[in-house]
C-alpha cells in the first residue's frame, strides 16, 4: 500500500522533512549515547505502532552494532536483563512521555529521579527532546500511512 501522501516527494513535505531531520541532528550530536537514542526511538515507535520508524530505528541500531537480542527485547525491557540501569531509566521516560494521555500524570517523579541519577543535564535535555521528536515523527508517518520495510540504514542521513 502506498502512503496517503509521500512527504519525501512533495515539495513542502521535502522542506519539512529536511528541517525536521536537521533538528534531529542536535540530538544525534548530543552526549546522549547513540545506543540509548535508538532504543528510546524504537520503544516509542513500538508503542505508537509506527512501522516506518520501527523499521528505521531497528536497522540504524543494527548497523551501529546493536545486538539482535537487545533489539528483540526492547518491547519487554522491564522483563529483560540486557539493559543497563541508565538505559532502563531512558526507556521508562520514553514510555511515560509517549503515554501522556494514558496516565494523566506525565512522567513520574520516580522515573525522573532515575533519569537524573544516570544522565547529566545535556543528556537529559537531549533525551526529553528525543522523546518529543520521535513521537512527532511517529504521528507524521502513521497519519500518512508510511509503511515500514523499505528503509535502508543511513537513508535519512543521506537525504540531509
pLDDT tens digit sequence for 66-80: 999 999 999 999 999
**Residue 5 belongs to a domain:** no
Dump pLDDT digits (tens) for 131-142: 999 999 999 999
**Residue 87 belongs to a domain:** yes
User: How many domains are there within the chain?
Assistant: 1
CATH number (domain holding residue 145): 1.20.1290.10
**Residue 6 belongs to a domain:** no
**Residue 65 belongs to a domain:** yes
Q: Find the domain containing 101 and state its range.
A: 11-150
**Residue 128 belongs to a domain:** yes
The confidence band for 158, taking pLDDT boundaries of 50, 70 and 90, is low
**Residue 1 belongs to a domain:** no
Count how many Cα atoms sit within 13 Å of the Cα of residue 63 in the half-sphere of its side chain.
Answer: 12
Bigger pLDDT: 115 or 154?
A: 115
Cα–Cα dist 36/87, whole Å: 6
Q: How many CB atoms lie within 10 A of CB 49?
A: 11
Amino acid at each position: 500500500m502506498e502512503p496517503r501522501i509521500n512527504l519525501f516527494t512533495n515539495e513542502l513535505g521535502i522542506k519539512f522533512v529536511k528541517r525536521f531531520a536537521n533538528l534531529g541532528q542536535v540530538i544525534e550530536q548530543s552526549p546522549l549515547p547513540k545506543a540509548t537514542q535508538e532504543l528510546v526511538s524504537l520503544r516509542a515507535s513500538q508503542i505508537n505502532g509506527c512501522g516506518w520508524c520501527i523499521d528505521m530505528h531497528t536497522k540504524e541500531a543494527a548497523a551501529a552494532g546493536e545486538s539482535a537480542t537487545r533489539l528483540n527485547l526492547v518491547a519487554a525491557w522491564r522483563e529483560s536483563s540486557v539493559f543497563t540501569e541508565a538505559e532502563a531509566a531512558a526507556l521508562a521516560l520514553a514510555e511515560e512521555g509517549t503515554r501522556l494521555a494514558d496516565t494523566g500524570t506525565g512522567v513520574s517523579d520516580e522515573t525522573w529521579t532515575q533519569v537524573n541519577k544516570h544522565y547529566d543535564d545535556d543528556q537529559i535535555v537531549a533525551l526529553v527532546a528525543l522523546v518529543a521528536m520521535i513521537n512527532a515523527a511517529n504521528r507524521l508517518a502513521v497519519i500518512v500511512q508510511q509503511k515500514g520495510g523499505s528503509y535502508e540504514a543511513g537513508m535519512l542521513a543521506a537525504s540531509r
